Amino acid sequence: IGIPVADVRVHSGDTGIAPVALGARGSRETFLGGNAVKLAAEDAKRQLQSRAASILGVPVEKLGSVQGRIFVKSQPAKFVTIAQAASKTMHENASAFPMGVPVIASACYTDPVSEMVDLATGHGNPCPTYAFGTQVAEVEVDTDTGQVTVLRVVAAHDVGKAIITPWQSKGSWKDRFPRV
């Protein structure tokens, strides 16, 4: 959308504002919720750019957005703020909507259908996404008592590009391993 990250608020797992889900486990919330957020953001961006195009008098295709501004690509100094675009009513009858029509975007993402692995062929796709990582623990075992002492733990994960909130991605993996 082009909104600064500092202006984004993440409400995770708040049933007062979110529908019931099947649970957050194995990065399921990030995968499903992240894709829904991406689709909703694309919808909000379309609405905002449509309003900005009306204000700026140019076709939507000629617009870009960054750092809270929607601008004409060939004339970056010609812009409106996202706040200005959001408050622009999309109706000619502004008296019916004196504060403007709010930008309301929502989306639903359904993960791809899982396909159990056929044991005879080895083909199938039981998960919508896969994580690549490893964990190693160096331990010391007292052979007399059986007492195990963890000396060191190392975890490494290739999460790809964390596009929504990198700090949540890092926290997801950092917090998961000690519970194992």
- At 99-147, the pLDDT tens digits run 557 788 889 888 777 788 888 998 888 777 777 778 899 999 999 999 9
Instruction: Tell the residue number behind the tokens 């019931």, with chain if given.
Output: 20
Percent of the chain with pLDDT over 70: 72
Q: Say how many domains are in the chain.
A: 2
Other Cβ atoms closer than 10 A to 52: 25
Rounded to the nearest 5°, which phi and psi values hold at 15? Answer: -70, -10
| Spatial contact of 52 and 86, defined as CB atoms under 8 Å apart | no
In a domain, 123, yes or no: no
The C-alpha atoms of residue 22 and residue 128 are separated, in whole angstroms, by: 15
Under the banding of pLDDT at 50, 70 and 90, the label for residue 44 is very high
Q: Is the pLDDT of residue 173 over 80?
A: no
Angle, CA of 30, 125 and 21, to the nearest 5°? 35
Domain that holds residue 166: 130-180
Under DSSP, the state recorded for 115 is: B
What's the confidence (pLDDT) of residue 180? 47
What's the confidence (pLDDT) of residue 151? 94
Same domain, 34 and 59: yes
Same domain, 97 and 143: no
Same domain, 8 and 72: yes
> How far is the first Cα of the chain from the last one, in angstroms, to the nearest whole number?
38
